[in-house]
Chain A
Amino acid sequence: MTARHFLTIVAIVQGILLGGLIVLIILNRWFRLRRSTRLNPRREAIDASMRRWAAGTTPLAGVLVGLSRLPVPLAIDALVKWSARVPGERWRQLAQALEHHWWARLVRTNSTSARWWKRLETARFLSVVATPKDVNRLTRLINDPHPAVHVAAVASLERMENTALTLAALDRLPRLAPTVQAYYAAMLLRSRPVVVEHLQKRLRRADDPTLPRLAEFAARLGEPALRERLTALADHADPEVRIQSARALGSFPHRESVAALKRLATDDAWAVRAQAVRSLGMITDVSTLPLVKAALRDTEWWVRLRAALALMRFAGAGRNALLEAEVGPDPFARAMAQLVLGLPAQALAEFAA
């Protein structure tokens, strides 16, 4: 084949592709328009059915028929949308009825699909209409490698109290980003006793590499039963663990917390000192005021900032301490006191958060 032949073939293929792409674009628009024209009435119909059924004026069969007429993703969207609006008992009836429906069975089988978006559909579906028979599926989905899938699956804990699912979510938790952890915490509220018991055991394992994340999650829960374990972590060798402990103890105004925070306020790691001083500001134990004042002269800017913000929470005594520092001999303390004293209330709150 000569170069000319090759180029000719390439030119022809390009021409066909170009034409095909333009046709594809136009067809895509037309198809989407037709689809929305076809589906919008069905969406409205299912909304109307759901409304009537929730009010008890129509049987469940109409809802099931309406759902089966929609494409699966849209049916799941409708279920998710209405799950928050329909009372618990009626919703359980729907979930049980869907157990035997053909398209719902199809969605359930996708829990082991190789394609993540299929598993996501299943997770979303089960997050609102799971029954006790779906525990194994949900456990598998909570352990799914794709983040969107396990985030969708964990939402099922809002409706289902199950120890196996709770523990599966807790095992996953240390590996999650803080925002996702916060989301998990909200989902696990219903299973709080199980969560607390599990955390009490896990927080005892000093060599657990996930200890910092677990401590962070425990702090988020603010559960008094976890105070002792969090206090014990103040002496851990890992500074990251001590940071989380220092941060957590601010929510527990207890003498043991104060004692631990006093130790942490003189820690070698500046991040630990910063969190400790912050927590002392939250507890506002008067006996810790000299320690917080001393932190105003810390070598690290962030510690000084936290100290100044903490002093503002000590009401009059703290404010006086800042005013003294503003005219005091230490230039760093002076500057920080000037900064914080000049902040309006809203800025102070945001800084302190």
Chain B
Amino acid sequence: MSVLTSIVGVTDLTILVYFLVLNSFYAVLLMLSIPEIWEQTRLAEDEDFQRLMQSDALPPITVLVPAYNESATIEASVTAILTLEYRNYEVVVVNDGSKDDTLEQLRHAFDLYEIPRVYPETIATKPLRALYRSRSRSRLLVLDKENGGKADSLNAAINASRFPLVIAVDADTLIEPDALLRLTRPFLLGREIAAVGGTVRVANNCTVKDGRVTDARVSPKPIPGIQVVEYLRAFLFGRLGWNRLGGNLIISGAFGLFRKEYVVAVGGYHTNSIVEDLDLVVRMHRHLRRRKIRYEMPFIPDPVAWTEVPESLKILSRQRERWHRGLIAAMWQYKSMLFNPRYGRIGLLAMPFYTFGEMLAPVVELLGYLITGLGLAFGLVNVSFALLFILVAWGYGMLLSIWAVVLEEVSFRRYRRFIDLVRLLLFASLENFGYRQCTVWWRLKAFVNVWKGVHVWGDMARKGFGKASVAALIALCCATPCLGQRVRVNAWSSYEAVENSQDWSTLGAQLTLASARGHAGWVAAEVLGRFGATDVTERIGAVVHPTQRLWLTAEAGTSRRPVFSPLNTWETDVSGLVAARTSVGLGVRRWNYAVGPVDVLMPHFTAETRRMSWSVRVFISRNPSKRTDTAASLRATRAVSRRTTISLLGAGGRESYLVAGVVQSLKTLSGVAGIRYNAAGGTTLRLDVSVIRSRPILSRSGLSIGVERVL
């Protein structure tokens, strides 16, 4: 218990210090955003500057528009971009190997004709198929190329651009007519600009006419409504504060103006990056700092682009998970800049903030919740103190969000209606109750996905555990025996005859290393055979006893050729002794099939008497078709002699099984009878007979034998 107390105490203190440091920094950003927004608003309203912006000597800009399968909206989007209020600009649209008729839509709408593919290819891209100009719109250039992704399309557009400034715009983003004019304001101020970012606002529920937002409204739905507050906080408060600190690390990919020579100097957008805009900006910082080139990357709040945000939790979760995965990848890739004085404020301020304050924030937050829960469960943390801490933490979050609303109110006031203001305040208050916890969860998933090597947009790459890792672990376990350790080897085999289908056979082995205190780790491998095919699954697991009464189990498994087994499995269990011979616990299991995951919650209860033990387990599972199934099992074990025990298990309910590539919910009734014999020399023999009645399919009966030897 003292160990747990120490762990809880130290972790609590760490989280408190982290909370204080991070929120103090937010307070600094908040303070700095005030004079910054005052200055920016004043400059935006200055009429002489507005007159300047009518000049034909404004720097010429190329607007880069990557498009993939945008046939429904491409004409309206490009038309809107072609009518921006700016004297000297061109638009380069890249059709990135669309599978729909995006190119045909463009060809028809803008009277395109093919021209020779003549431009300097300074950045390597996928092959170009054709280059088109428009007879009706002289500013427009269209590239048709093989599919290579957004970054590749942007690089191709940069190659074809004529002008020294480039701005990447998503095809579905609505830019305000004077946005380009406003974005060039820093250039008029005589500053050495490498890149400029504008504000991205939420277009959901706004009135859009001819590709322009004519009436800004806040959505009454909580998910997009809260995102309005999030975007205000990120842009009006966060980035304005960073302007003063000189450490803007993010120029939004949806709306950012870059100096082309610097983009080309760093090799353009990286095609293997998940969040290419962040990656580009960090590389530009690194390049310019290394060469000691004077530059700025400010954020200007008044140029606005509008974008639709996800309205469902599913799509939002994917988006946030991807963003965080990109942040993790970028912070890891450029970790040499962290705390490196060579990179000035970027290395000493911005990178540490984004690493510890943004990237690791969900980990710390989760730790906070876990430690608080653990502390409460074991009486180590005072309930009222914990509640007070949570109140302060959430209150601070609310304060920052409402401050963003204040900045909006005193500056641009896009939301004129009082009801929109009320919604902003309401969503700013509600954000911390549920929504924030969801974003923490999604961002934590990003860590898992990075570890698993997930790279592409939303697809799960089947990596699992490599052969080498399991073999190395086995070798390690065998090669380094320690005092007080016991080594246990299991082997088993089973055969099940399935009604009206192929029979099922398995052969497996497990190596367990256990310490005198009861901690153990194991690796196992199993070969499954069915339908003439075999699959090999590997598992690795561990059980630890933080206290004498508590044990935590975790196991992970992966499948080599998951034809009829999950891609990978995860299981954790927390169990504790509640009385001398009674334990309760909760297990969570996930089976990741190719078609989707099956999550199972397993509360369990075990009670022992002198010769018998009873174990009840409940299975609450949720399968990819969003169905929740319940099953329960009861096992009774009895020692019939000093060396022999028999067991009976009865189970019933609904369980999820992969059948013909689909996870189905089957009604099952099971009975298993088993016998164990502890022979001399530490060898145990096992025999189980099972009968399972399953509707509508997979009724089976089987036999299983096993041997275990303690070395």
Interface residues of A (CB under 8 A from B): 3-4, 7-8, 10-11, 14-15, 17-18, 21-22, 24-25, 28-29, 77, 80, 116-117, 120, 124, 127, 147-148, 151-152, 155, 175-183, 301, 335-336, 338-339, 342-344, 346-347, 350-351, 353
Contacts of B56 in A (CB 8 A): 182
A180 and B188: CB pair below 8 A?
yes
- Asked if B395 is an interface residue, CB under 8 A from chain A, the answer is yes
Report the Cα distance A80→B395, complex, angstroms.
Answer: 47
> CB < 8 Å: which of A24, A80, A183 contacts B55?
A183
- Asked if B673 is an interface residue, CB under 8 A from chain A, the answer is no
A347 and B392: CB pair below 8 A?
no
Contacts of A178 in B (CB 8 A): 57, 59
B402 and A22: CB pair below 8 A?
yes
Report the Cα distance A158→B57, complex, angstroms.
Answer: 19
Residue of B nearest to A335 (CB): B118
Known: A3-B385, A343-B133. A177 touches B188 (CB 8 A): yes
> CB < 8 Å: which of A10, A17, A120 contacts B46?
A120
Residue of B nearest to A185 (CB): B57
Contacts of B332 in A (CB 8 A): none
Residue of A nearest to B396 (CB): A14
- Asked if B398 is an interface residue, CB under 8 A from chain A, the answer is yes
Known: A175-B190, A179-B59, A180-B52. A347 touches B402 (CB 8 A): no
A339 and B392: CB pair below 8 A?
no
Report the Cα distance A17→B58, complex, angstroms.
Answer: 44
A11 and B52: CB pair below 8 A?
no
Give chain B nearest CB distance to A116 CB in angstroms.
Answer: 8
Give chain B nearest CB distance to A225 CB in angstroms.
Answer: 22
Contacts of B135 in A (CB 8 A): 344
> CB < 8 Å: which of A124, A177, A338, A342 contacts B48?
A124
Contacts of A29 in B (CB 8 A): 409, 418, 421
Report the Cα distance A94→B43, complex, angstroms.
Answer: 28
Interface of chain B residues 34 through 87 with chain A (CB within 8 A): 39, 42-43, 46-49, 51-52, 55-59
Report the Cα distance A342→B131, complex, angstroms.
Answer: 12
> CB < 8 Å: which of B47, B58, B388, B421 contacts A25?
B421
Contacts of B120 in A (CB 8 A): 301
Question: How many contacts A-B (CB < 8 Å)?
Answer: 123
How many B residues touch A, CB cutoff 8 Å? 51
Known: A21-B399, A177-B190. 19 other contacts (CB 8 A): A18-B402, A21-B402, A28-B409, A29-B418, A29-B421, A116-B39, A151-B49, A179-B57, A180-B52, A180-B190, A182-B57, A183-B52, A183-B57, A335-B116, A339-B116, A339-B118, A342-B113, A343-B115, A344-B135
Give chain B nearest CB distance to A26 CB in angstroms.
Answer: 8
Report the Cα distance A25→B120, complex, angstroms.
Answer: 54
> CB < 8 Å: which of B55, B133, B392, B409 contacts A179?
B55
> CB < 8 Å: which of B52, B138, B187 contacts A151?
B52
Residue of B nearest to A147 (CB): B189
Interface of chain B residues 90 through 137 with chain A (CB within 8 A): 90, 113, 115-116, 118-120, 133, 135
Interface of chain B residues 380 through 403 with chain A (CB within 8 A): 385, 388-389, 391-392, 395-396, 398-399, 402-403
Residue of A nearest to B38 (CB): A117
- Asked if B414 is an interface residue, CB under 8 A from chain A, the answer is no
Give chain B nearest CB distance to A208 CB in angstroms.
Answer: 19
B58 and A7: CB pair below 8 A?
no
Residue of A nearest to B46 (CB): A148
Contacts of A17 in B (CB 8 A): 399
Give chain A nearest CB distance to B377 CB in angstroms.
Answer: 21
Residue of A nearest to B189 (CB): A147
Give chain A nearest CB distance to B62 CB in angstroms.
Answer: 12
- Asked if B249 is an interface residue, CB under 8 A from chain A, the answer is no
A147 and B188: CB pair below 8 A?
yes
Report the Cα distance A182→B188, complex, angstroms.
Answer: 11
A342 and B115: CB pair below 8 A?
yes
Contacts of A346 in B (CB 8 A): 138
8 closest residue pairs by CB, A with B: A182-B57, A346-B138, A347-B138, A14-B395, A338-B116, A335-B118, A339-B118, A147-B189
Contacts of A15 in B (CB 8 A): 395
29 contacts between A and B (CB under 8 A): A3-B385, A4-B388, A7-B388, A15-B395, A21-B402, A21-B406, A25-B405, A25-B406, A25-B409, A25-B425, A28-B410, A77-B47, A120-B42, A124-B48, A127-B48, A147-B189, A151-B48, A151-B52, A151-B188, A179-B184, A183-B52, A301-B120, A338-B118, A339-B116, A342-B113, A342-B116, A342-B133, A347-B133, A350-B138
